[in-house]
A and B are shown apart, each in its own frame.
Chain A
Amino acid sequence: MIRRLLPWLIFAVFAAIPFLPVGGFVTLVAGRIMIFAIAAMSLDLILGVGGLPSFGHAAPIAIGAYAVAMLDAAGLNHLEYVLPAAMGAACLFAVITGSVALRARGINFIMITLAFAQMVFFAAGSLSDYGGDDGYSLTVRTDIAGQNLLKGGNLYFASLIALIGVWLLLRMIVASRFGRALSAVRQNRVRVQAMGINATAIELTALVIGAGIAALAGVLLANEAEFVSPAYAAWGRSGSLMVMVILGGLGSLHGAILGAAVVVLFEEGMGRYTQHWPLIFGVLLVLAVLFLRNGLAGVRRG
């Protein structure tokens, strides 16, 4: 019962935070957690359910963020254009890179996804029209139907709606025929092919869905910071996302939200006291992997 209510409890906490006397900084951090949670859940579909160790999930986030920047520079700030452009570009990127990466398995898959993300990183750094390595500051936040709906604290609630929407969408996908096939491909690829299912097509579809959702996170992230830089595609960011998913519990979806919370809190919280926070975090991660078999969410993957 508690297990089933946990995701809604998490959403309730996020909904309550802006109304609690906790200060702007806490709300800011909570907002960032939600955005990274969206990206982490999309990676959970790929890594947790599909068993594909993508080490380049920062790339579609950065592509989504740069779509915001590029359209901003062109004077287009409507979400009606920005979101389809961001998601479309990220999905196209996933189709192309995924088709190549899925020819490999295991370590080679990890290296190929990493290599493609690094290409995005360096490509972003060479975009001199958008600030190159220094990044690009948005002139305004993206609007919705001409209304400035994402201004100020509104973005927080937009992120919450996106978080719940993405969770519902992914939960439905995981429970669908596609979701079962994806989980089966992780468990035993050859067996699934023997059943007449095109395992590669299933995996590629998962990569494309994951990239599209990551691009949504990128759009939110760009608006939250009102700034975009190549660092969005940095390999450390891809690694953080994997940590969020593994820490939260592979394949549990809402576990990725908890994982995102822990990682972002460490970065923002411990980071204020010591720059050596990854040292402590590393020890905790080892302990979590050893003793929390099913992650923070405690859900066994099916």
Chain B
Amino acid sequence: MAEPVLDIAGLSRRYGALQVTDNVSLQVMPGRIHAIIGPNGAGKTTLIQQIFGAVRPDAGVIRLGGRVVTHMAPHRRARLGLARSFQITSVLPDFTALENVALAAQGHAGSSLRFFGDVGKSAELNRAAFAALTRVGLAARQGVIAGRLSHGEKRQLELAMAVAVQPRLMLLDEPLAGAGPEETARLVALLGSLRSDCAILLVEHDMDAVFQLADDITVLALGRVIAQGGPDAIRADPAVRAAYLGEDF
């Protein structure tokens, strides 16, 4: 069996009396979409933040591509092939769509301490950025200031920024939040196609999308893993139905 892209073992994090992450272990395998679902307050976002590096766990180990990254700064994890989108849309509002993605490519190239040469004329960065925009279907909007893009387009732009760094793993924190039905259909198709590029860890509340996309699912409740498995097993799991999905799903 291949080595997991992301390997989390015994992760725990406590805020005062509240155990938000309670001995969580999970693995994301290459080329697969692994979804994390669970009710509000289950600790999904805190878990994402620990994988990203913004929150430090109290206990446990996080391995990215075999390397221990548990206490590594976010930018260093990103350099190891971790890309992410944010629950609340997060773009660089004063830059054009192309500039947003070109900066991601620049981060990937590790060339941000260059003081000479007009970055806007860098064929290397612009080509990579345009390819990523094309990949997510946003090429026609490359010159638009990101702050003026529609909500769905900003979501696409975030995915383009993630694609541009050719990551091993994408953390996608509610990539469908706030999207309309048409946008959702388009984004789901796009996410499914990204599987061939890299592994994806997906946090999402849209259960139709989750069961359509996910190869593996981890269900969290009160910070703890209550079920793990393929979509069919999760759908049938009585504990999951009681805690989250409901009897009608």
B116 touches A176 (CB 8 A): yes
Q: Considering the chains assembled together, what is the distance between the CA atoms of A301 and B92 in angstroms? A: 12
Residue of B nearest to A188 (CB): B92
B108 touches A196 (CB 8 A): yes
B94 touches A302 (CB 8 A): yes
Q: Is A126 an interface residue (CB 8 A)?
A: no
Q: Considering the chains assembled together, what is the distance between the CA atoms of A192 and B54 in angstroms? A: 13
Minimum CB–CB distance for A193 against chain B, Å: 4
Residue of B nearest to A187 (CB): B92
Q: Considering the chains assembled together, what is the distance between the CA atoms of A186 and B114 in angstroms? A: 18
Q: Is A287 an interface residue (CB 8 A)?
A: no
B112 touches A191 (CB 8 A): no
Total count of chain B residues near the partner, CB < 8 A = 38
B75 touches A197 (CB 8 A): yes
B118 touches A196 (CB 8 A): no
B95 touches A302 (CB 8 A): yes
Type the 1/0 row for A264-302, where 1 means its CB is closer than 8 Å to any CB of B: 000000000000000000000000000000000000011
B90 touches A188 (CB 8 A): yes
Q: Is A245 an interface residue (CB 8 A)?
A: no
A205 touches B104 (CB 8 A): no
Contact status of A177 and B90, CB under 8 A, knowing A192-B107, A196-B110, A199-B75: no
Chain A positions within 8 Å of B116 at CB level: 172, 176
Contact status of A177 and B75, CB under 8 A, knowing A183-B94, A188-B91: no
Complex interface residues of chain A between 201 and 223 (CB less than 8 A to chain B): 201-202, 205
B54 touches A190 (CB 8 A): yes
Contact of B118 among A176, A191, A197, A198 (CB under 8 A): A176
Type the 1/0 row for B96-116, where 1 means its CB is closer than 8 Å to any CB of A: 000100111011101111111
Most buried by B among A172, A177, A201, A205: A177
Minimum CB–CB distance for A197 against chain B, Å: 5
Chain A positions within 8 Å of B115 at CB level: 172-173, 176-179
Contact of A177 among B79, B86, B111 (CB under 8 A): B111
Contact status of A187 and B107, CB under 8 A, knowing A180-B119, A196-B78, A196-B79: no
- How many contacting A-B pairs (Cβ < 8 A)? 108
Q: Is B200 an interface residue (CB 8 A)?
A: no
Minimum CB–CB distance for A166 against chain B, Å: 14
Minimum CB–CB distance for B57 against chain A, Å: 18
Q: Is A184 an interface residue (CB 8 A)?
A: yes
Q: Considering the chains assembled together, what is the distance between the CA atoms of A175 and B116 in angstroms? A: 8
Q: Considering the chains assembled together, what is the distance between the CA atoms of A238 and B183 in angstroms? A: 50
Q: Considering the chains assembled together, what is the distance between the CA atoms of A193 and B79 in angstroms? A: 10
Contact of B106 among A181, A190, A193 (CB under 8 A): A181
A175 touches B119 (CB 8 A): yes
Minimum CB–CB distance for A143 against chain B, Å: 30
Contact of A191 among B76, B90, B102, B110 (CB under 8 A): B90
B119 touches A179 (CB 8 A): yes
Chain A positions within 8 Å of B108 at CB level: 195-196
Residue of A nearest to B121 (CB): A175
Contact status of A176 and B95, CB under 8 A, knowing A188-B90, A191-B86, A196-B75: no
Pairs A–B under 8 Å by Cβ, sample size 8: A176-B114, A176-B119, A187-B92, A192-B103, A196-B107, A197-B103, A197-B107, A302-B95
Q: Which residues of A contact B (CB under 8 A)?
A: 172-173, 175-181, 183-184, 187-188, 190-199, 201-202, 205, 301-302
5 extra interface residue pairs, beta carbon distance < 8 Å, beyond A176-B117, A190-B90, A191-B86:
A180-B95, A180-B106, A187-B92, A193-B74, A198-B76
